[in-house]
Amino acid sequence: MSDPMSAESGPVPARDASGLARGASLPADGPIVAGGASRSLRHESAAMHVSGSATYIDDMPEPKGLLHVVPGLSTRAHARILSMDLDAVRAAPGVVRVLTAADIPGHNQISPVGKNDEPLLAEDLVSYYGQPIFAVVAETRAAARRAARLARIEYEELPAILDIAQARAAGGALVWRALEMTRGDVLAGLAAAPRRLSGQVTMGGQEHFYLEGQAALAQPGEEGEMRVWSSTQHPTETQHMVAHVLDRPSNLVTTEIRRMGGGFGGKESQANTPACLAALAAELTGRAAKMRLDRDDDMVMTGKRHDFVVEYDVGFDDDGRILAVDMVLAARCGWSADLSGPVTDRALFHADNAYYYPDVRLRSEPLKTNTQSNTAYRGFGGPQGIVAAERVIEEVAFATGLDPLDVRLRNVYGTGTRDLTPYHMTVEDSIAAEIMEQLARDCAYRDRRAALRAANRDSPFVRRGIALTPVKFGISFTATHYNQAGALVHVYTDGSVQVNHGGTEMGQGLHTKMVQIAMREFGLASDRVRITATTTGKVPNTSATAASSGADLNGMAVLDAVRRIKDRLTAFAAGHWNVAPEAVRFLPDGVHVGETIVPFPDLTRAAYLARVSMSSSGFYKTPKISWNPDTGRGRPFYYFAYGAACAEVAIDLLTGETRIERVDILHDAGRSLNPAIDIGQIEGAFVQGAGWLTMEELVWDSAGRLRTHAPSTYKIPACSDRPRIFNVALLEAAPNREDTIFRSKAVGEPPFVHGVAVLHAISDALASLDSYRTCPRLDAPATPETILRTAERLRPRAGG
Ligand code: MTE
Ligand code: MOS
């Protein structure tokens, strides 16, 4: 292979239960020379990750005189603050200052969508249990933590609305406008359908559980300058919020982030609170200040994935063809809007998953509650819409007695026909059917299904189930203006290259992919291309690294910057060595200038002496997209990413426990930029999705206090919960038909949806209890309790 990306993606080897790829060709140790580079270049920080030397915010050398900030949190879900006595806090040992809303020089407002409904520190009202009211600034974290407990706050309690049912009963106040998407006449469609049914599906929320909690470090500079290192997915927004809170222009505030220890959407907007509080402390004391949240405080303070209740009404025929779908998708949004508007919108955008609904009406209900402000989380509402879509499929399958896979295949989007989404975008690239069929063949879905069903008859306590579900996921921010990116590339005289771009690294491998683009274009080895921390001082006005579009957007911006530099070097070389510009090519063995091969550093030194600029910014904006929420019409997505998963589970009817026996995934990453990283994304996303739907459960008590606020009470998947057999493959020879960076496809979020196959496999196992007659209507998370309750409902009564 002659460059880091051009090689065709070969078949990706199956993995055995140990998780080791058989025959995988991952690169060997040492710098990878372009001449022998693999497209599966290892993560730029892999060695640092595993040796513990990668620097996160709390690992940075501490500036002299550093202060520590700890928040004081509300202990009521909804209350007026009658009085606040912080004298004991101020008098506690080590305390330097106590911050309240009154200390904020600028605006006490950090709503990421400009709604003015999110004070940084509560004023006279608290809206959830865990809301920051004040912050202690002390010489040590321990001193600040001890002092925070000494506050005496008097509250007048107000009625608290904690969940979707309570919110509806109280009149259904919304944090954002409801969205409606319609096509055709749904009521007429339902009335005319030969068969019809309705139901409801509930799915829980999810804690992000990034390994690195929320953290920020602020350092004051001259004349109002403020530098903030923040574990944020959105440095530009963090910069704006700090500027807003301190009341100064953006040019005085710089935000920087080398990497996050995971974000998963939880640091898209909610990193702003620690950044603003650290900056406020730094501003008022003139000293550097750090806020690194304790895990319990992090879980109690910050928003999570939205839990949803979806009501559906579906019309269909005896062949399992869906004719009309009417759905209301209600979400618990928490106390402020945060990103709940776009999240609930995206749930609607995915309530069709891969299926064509002839007549359709979809409505969102973003409900306000006195709980944490729910936020972005891998898939951004999409997975919730897809869970609803797949429940509808399952209902139709049980009603008609068909294999759910056949119902899926009968309803999947076509090409040129049955291809219009509920938001009036034509699906031009539907490959969901092919992927499902190929996967079903490769993993022998039909034979295994028949065998499992037969075996279940003789198995009193252990029942097995299998399901194969697809994903179609829309790629682009639905806020069209977000679909832009910038980059800044420097070539130094010694021929080494520094790449900077607007995206952030959170473990997903974005920086590695950006390095690969520069390597390929300049013909350089990986040790000649250095990625630098993301900073608003180098690339301004960036979008959050989110919506899976980090590589799509920033990759094109990096390419633009690199090509501008190459154009200048090419013109220089052509003139200097007297050849045609077409005779200058940047290859792994050096720069070919006609017949001569010039080492890259020789070219850059010569170009410098000739006064050629070797630095450039780059820019990109996604073409073709538009979306109007008022009409519910447009082309919000540049393209779709596809995939399918087949899961086989065993459930224990005595304990309710589930074991994932086998999972096969076939996923479409276009022409993958880095197959090893993309497979890692698919594996991780699947496990996270399965965790959401089977074991992660958030519990609030009647006072609105989150009781699952630490790993002791909140269970995330462990290594031992991975499927016993786990085969992940990338769809081969599948370049993106749109002109994306080297024809790749976004991969960060879509495979999260593969966890849905596990929910449906459990449901299939449960259905065996009444000989597959009724749809189990299994809600999520399918914890042992939920499984036992559902089994109880399905099991024929003894003697009855
Ligand atoms: N992978 C890791 N390891 N850590 C993360 O925090 N976040 C996910 C996904 N994969 C995440 C991850 C989410 S929510 C998104 S939107 C994408 O990565 C963002 O990165 P990308 O756009 O570069 O794919
Ligand atoms: Mo991802 S939820 O878009 O940060």
152 Cα: distance to centroid of ligand 1 (angstroms): 41
pLDDT tens digits, one per residue of 573-600 = 999 999 999 999 999 999 999 999 999 9
The answer to whether residues 284 and 296 touch, using CB atoms and an 8 Å cutoff, is no
748 Cα: distance to centroid of ligand 2 (angstroms): 8
For residues 240 and 275, give the distance between their C-alpha atoms in angstroms, rounded to a whole number.
11
Q: What is the pLDDT of residue 4?
A: 54
For ligand 2, say whether the CB of 265 is within 6 Å of any of its atoms. yes
Ligand 2 pocket test: which of 208, 267, 378, 553 has the largest number of ligand atoms within 8 Å of its C-beta?
Answer: 378
CA-based Rg of the chain, rounded to a whole angstrom? 27
pLDDT tens digits, one per residue of 643-655 = 999 999 999 999 9
The answer to whether residues 68 and 139 touch, using CB atoms and an 8 Å cutoff, is yes
The 3-state DSSP composition of the chain as helix, strand, coil percent (nearest 5) reads: 30, 25, 45
pLDDT tens digits, one per residue of 607-620 = 999 999 999 999 99
> Which numbered atom of ligand 1 lies nearest the CA of 260?
6
Across the range 638-646, mean pLDDT stands at: 98
Q: What is the pLDDT of residue 13?
A: 41
Judged by its nearest atom, the ligand closest to the C-alpha of residue 260 is 1
Among the listed residues 150, 154, 146, the one whose alpha carbon sits nearest the alpha carbon of residue 124: 154
Burial of 18 (0-12, 13-18, 19+ CB in 10 A): exposed
pLDDT tens digits, one per residue of 217-262 = 999 999 999 999 999 999 999 999 999 999 999 999 999 999 999 9
pLDDT tens digits, one per residue of 354-388 = 999 999 999 999 999 999 999 999 999 999 999 99
> Active-site residues: which are they?
749
pLDDT tens digits, one per residue of 144-163 = 999 999 999 999 999 999 99
Longest CA span, the chain:
96
- The CA-CA-CA angle for residues 363, 787, 379, to 5°, reads 40
In the chain, pLDDT over 90 holds for what percent of residues?
Answer: 94
- The total of other beta-carbon atoms located within 10 Å of residue 322's CB is 25
Q: What is the pLDDT of residue 32?
A: 33
In the chain, pLDDT over 70 holds for what percent of residues?
Answer: 95
Is residue 178 over pLDDT 80?
yes
For residues 252 and 227, give the distance between their C-alpha atoms in angstroms, rounded to a whole number.
8
Per the listing, tokens 């290859």 go with 587
Name the closest-CA residue to atom 4, ligand 2.
Answer: 265
Is residue 776 over pLDDT 50?
yes
Residue 279 per-residue DSSP state: H
Across the range 97-122, mean pLDDT stands at: 98
For residues 704 and 370, give the distance between their C-alpha atoms in angstroms, rounded to a whole number.
7
Q: What is the pLDDT of residue 156?
A: 98
Ligand 2 pocket test: which of 302, 343, 380, 543 has the largest number of ligand atoms within 8 Å of its C-beta?
Answer: 380
Across the range 719-739, mean pLDDT stands at: 97
pLDDT tens digits, one per residue of 305-335 = 999 999 999 999 999 999 999 999 999 999 9
Helix locations, 578-671, DSSP H: 600-609
Is residue 21 over pLDDT 90?
no
Judged by its nearest atom, the ligand closest to the C-alpha of residue 674 is 1
- The CA-CA-CA angle for residues 280, 284, 288, to 5°, reads 70
183 Cα: distance to centroid of ligand 2 (angstroms): 28
Which amino acid is located at 5 in the chain?
M
For ligand 2, say whether the CB of 477 is within 6 Å of any of its atoms. no
> Which numbered atom of ligand 2 lies nearest the CA of 265?
4
The tokens describing 191, both together, are: 């009335």
Q: What is the pLDDT of residue 507?
A: 98
For ligand 2, say whether the CB of 506 is within 6 Å of any of its atoms. no
Is residue 800 over pLDDT 50?
no
510 Cα: distance to centroid of ligand 1 (angstroms): 9
748 Cα: distance to centroid of ligand 1 (angstroms): 5
* Local confidence band at 796 (pLDDT 50, 70, 90 cut-offs): confident
For residues 762 and 779, give the distance between their C-alpha atoms in angstroms, rounded to a whole number.
11
Q: How remote is the C-alpha of 693 from its chain's centroid?
A: 16
For residues 509 and 635, give the distance between their C-alpha atoms in angstroms, rounded to a whole number.
28
Bigger pLDDT: 37 vs 50: 50
The answer to whether residues 783 and 487 touch, using CB atoms and an 8 Å cutoff, is no
Across the range 428-450, mean pLDDT stands at: 97
Ligand 1 shell residues, CB under 6 Å: 262-265, 378, 506-508, 510, 545-551, 681, 684, 746, 748-749
Is residue 391 over pLDDT 80?
yes
